[in-house]
Amino acid sequence: PIQICVSKCPDRYLTYLSAYGSRAPAELEYYRQFCVPEFKNLQKPPIQVLKDKECPAMIIPSTPLARRCFPAIQAKKGVIMVGNETTYDDGHGRRRNVTELLEGAKKANVVLETRQLAMKIFEDYTVSWYWIIIGLVIAMVASFIFIVLLRFLAGIMVWVMIVMVILVLGYGIFHCYMEYAKLKGEAGSDVSLADLGFQTDLRVYLHLRQTWLAFMIILCIMEVVIILLLIFLRKRILIAIALIKEASRAVGHIMTSLLFPLCTFFLLCLCIAYWASTAVFLSTSNEAIYKVFNETTCQFSGQTCKPETFKTSNVTKLCPDAQCLFAFYGGETAYHKYLIILQFFNVFMFFWLANFVIALGQVTLAGAFASYYWAFKKPDDMPAFPLFSAFSRALRYHTGSLAFGSLILAIVQVIRVTLEYLDHRLKAADNKFAKFLLSCLKCCFWCLEKFIKFLNRNAYIMIAVYGTNFCTSARNAFFLLMRNIIRVAVLDKVTDFLFFLGKLLIVGSVGILAFFFFTHRIKLVQDTAPSLNYYWVPILTVIVGSYLIAHGFFSVYGMCVDTLFLCFLEDLERNDGSAEKPYFMSPNLKKLLKKTNKGQPEA
Q: Is the confidence at residue 78, as pLDDT, over 70? A: no
Rounded to whole angstroms, what are the CA distances from 314 to 80, 301, 320, 322, 408? 49, 13, 10, 11, 58
User: Which residue has better confidence, 394 or 51?
Assistant: 394
Residue 603 lies in a domain: no
Domain check: are 80 and 205 in the same one?
no
pLDDT tens-digit map of 5-29 = 888 888 888 888 888 887 677 888 8
3-class SS of residue 101: helix
Claim to verify: residue 310 and residue 244 sit in the same structural domain = no
Contacting residues for 396 by C-beta, under 8 A, at least 6 apart: none
**pLDDT of 111 strictly over 70:** no
* Cβ 348 vs Cβ 354: under 8 Å: no
Interval 520-547: pLDDT, tens: 877 777 777 788 888 888 899 999 999 9
Q: Which band of pLDDT confidence, cut at 50, 70 and 90, is reported for residue 389?
A: very high
Q: Is 402's pLDDT higher than 70?
A: yes
Distance CA 442, CA 420 (A): 8
- AA letter at 401: S
Using one digit for the tens of pLDDT, what is the confidence trace for 248-265? 888 888 988 888 888 999
Percent helix, strand, coil in the chain, to 5, is 65, 5, 25
Quickly state the pLDDT bin for 57 (edges 50, 70, 90). Answer: confident
Q: Say how many domains are in the chain.
A: 4
Are residues 321 and 406 both part of a single domain? no
Q: What is the mean pLDDT of residues 385-393?
A: 92
Is the separation of the CB atoms in 233 and 527 below 8 Å? Answer: no
**Section 464-481 average pLDDT:** 93
Give the lowest-confidence range in 65-74, 108-117, 400-409.
Answer: 108-117
Q: What is the C-alpha separation between 421 and 47, in angstroms, rounded?
A: 50
Instruction: State the Rg of the chain over Cα.
Output: 36
Coil, strand or helix: which one is 82? strand
Residues 458, 349, single domain; the answer is yes
**508-517 per-position pLDDT tens digit:** 889 988 888 8
Q: Do residue 72 and residue 178 come from a single domain?
A: no
The answer, yes or no, to whether residue 33 has pLDDT greater than 90, is no
| CA angle at 9 for the pair 8 and 12, rounded to the nearest 5° | 125
Percent of the chain whose predicted confidence (pLDDT) is above 90: 26
| 242/375 same-domain check | no
Q: Is 58 helix (H, G, I), strand (E, B) or coil?
A: strand
User: Does residue 431 lie in a domain region?
Assistant: yes
- The DSSP letter of residue 530 is P
The C-alpha atoms of residue 371 and residue 382 are separated, in whole angstroms, by 6
Q: Which of 436-450, 487-501, 541-555 has the lowest mean pLDDT?
A: 487-501
Pair 70, 183 in one domain: no
DSSP state of 309: T
| Contact in structure between 387 and 410 (CB atoms under 8 Å) | no
Q: Do 347 and 414 form a contact (C-beta atoms < 8 A)?
A: yes
What percentage of the chain reaches a pLDDT higher than 70?
A: 90
Give the Cα separation of 204 and 533 in Å (integer): 48
End-to-end CA distance of the chain: 82
Whether residue 152 is found in the same domain as residue 299: no
Convert 351-364 to b/e letters by CB count within 10 Å (16 or more is b).
bbbbbbbbbbbbbb
Please tell me the predicted confidence (pLDDT) of residue 14. 83
CA atoms within 13 A on the CB side of 196: 20
Confidence of residue 184 (pLDDT cuts 50, 70, 90): confident
Backbone angle region of 96, left / alpha / beta, with phi > 0 → left and psi within -120 to 50 → alpha: beta
Q: Are 603 and 382 in contact (CB under 8 A)?
A: no
Task: Note the pLDDT tens digit of each residue in 564-602.
Answer: 999 998 998 888 888 888 888 888 888 888 888 775 555
Which range, of 49-58, 98-107, 157-166, 433-442, averages the lowest pLDDT?
A: 98-107
Same domain membership, residue 246 and residue 215: yes
Spell out the alpha helix ranges (H) of 254-338: 260-283, 314-318, 334-337
Closest Cα partner for 420 from 445, 447, 448? 445
Least confident of 51-55, 80-84, 221-225, 305-309: 80-84
The model's confidence at residue 453, banded by pLDDT at 50, 70 and 90, is very high
Q: Is residue 475 part of a domain?
A: no
Task: Give CA–CA dist 517/20, Å, rounded.
Answer: 65
Q: Are 514 and 544 in contact (CB under 8 A)?
A: no
Cβ of 414: how many Cβ atoms within 10 Å? 18
Answer whether residue 486 is part of any domain. Answer: no
Does residue 523 sit within a domain?
yes
* Residue 603: predicted pLDDT: 45
Q: What is the mean pLDDT of residues 553-568?
A: 90
Q: Which structural domain range is residue 325 located in?
A: 288-329
Residues 442 and 309 in one domain: no
- 375 in a domain, yes or no? yes
Segment 270-308, tens digit of pLDDT: 999 999 999 988 887 777 778 877 767 777 777 788 777
Instruction: Report the alpha-carbon distance of residue 250 to residue 157 in Å, rounded.
Output: 20
Contacts of 321 (CB under 8 A, 6+ apart): 294, 295, 296
Same domain flag for 307 and 359: no
Average pLDDT, the chain: 83
Judge whether 177 lies within some domain. yes
Task: For residues 84 and 72, give the distance between their C-alpha atoms in angstroms, rounded to a whole number.
Answer: 10
Assess whether pLDDT exceeds 90 at residue 427. Answer: no
Do residues 369 and 226 share a domain?
A: no
Is residue 445, in this structure, part of any structural domain at all? yes
